[in-house]
Homo-oligomer: A and B are copies of this chain.
């Protein structure tokens, strides 16, 4: 239960103000000017009950002694929390970094502090991180689950805390709020865009078929094809891990049977890898073969050719996630909500000129 492994719990634990003066407390302030601690507390919390003159004296003394409010102690007594935990895959991923930035901005504006945790896409590490974070009694949690997360395990780590917002990946079995991108609509828009450019043979390239986001994107792709009276060809559904290397390696599979003229890619990373693979076999992306991505990572704009993709505005999604969680905190008993965030097609050169 309590694995006592970390240095912070052992003898190496550090005192917050070690080597410095002892922290000033409400008692110090109260004693200094001859009022009770209760009065000081009321001043701190901005109560209108305090005599204006008493208030002034207290405030002067707070300043004089450089009093620092101990929010942890207050939260303990009041049984409240002023922190929110944010658990994501990895900040090295610009998408999550932007998302985290938006979350922190929106939370900070409401007086909450962000407790950060990263899973590195590992369910085991996720469990450890969640356990640690819960010990800090956050008011709520924003979680972008690691691939392969198990709802039961996650719920276990979360204890009875009901204030959870899931982002990006749904965990069925947990009745938690959920914010997702409109994957289906995005892939639909990309596919329709290629069809409008005159393409008839369009592949869907990359992603793991069993991941929910890949499934949704394939659905949007199929929908656009169906609307145009085009058929989904099974060997045009090509899986690939979402990294550049594997995507490049698998690009040959597009040329195994009937050769498509365009590919809707699972995401930008895959698209960039595919473009690499195409170029290395003498097929020039954007001219000989049209490619679209998903995410609009910063490299998309500067790639050669620049990548047509779907912008998701991760920073705005972060703000939105924070808002949704704050609403949940206001009404913990409300029914879980599912929110789908819009995505927008950004046309660049990789989807090429009109063909045919």
B-contacting residues of A (Cβ < 8 Å)? 1-2, 4-9, 12-21, 23, 43-46, 59, 62-63, 66-73, 75-76, 78-83, 86, 90-92, 94, 97-98, 100-101, 104-105, 108, 110-118, 129, 132-140, 156, 159-163, 298-299, 302-304, 315, 326, 329-330, 332-333
> In whole Å, how far is A262's beta carbon from the nearest beta carbon of chain B?
23
Residues in B neighbouring A17, C-beta threshold 8 A: 159-162
Residues in B neighbouring A156, C-beta threshold 8 A: 66
Distance, CA A138 to CA B23, complexed state (A)? 13
Known: A7-B111, A114-B115. A162 touches B333 (CB 8 A): no
Tally of this chain's copies: 2
Residue of A14, A62, A112 with most partner-chain B CB within 10 A: A14
B98 touches A91 (CB 8 A): yes
- The one of B16, B114, B159, B304 in contact with A138, judged by C-beta atoms closer than 8 angstroms, is B16
Known: A13-B80, A101-B90. A159 touches B66 (CB 8 A): yes
> In whole Å, how far is A70's beta carbon from the nearest beta carbon of chain B?
6
12 further A-B pairs in the complex, CB-CB below 8 A; given A16-B161, A108-B129: A2-B62, A5-B111, A6-B110, A8-B111, A18-B332, A19-B333, A20-B160, A82-B136, A92-B315, A104-B117, A105-B118, A113-B115
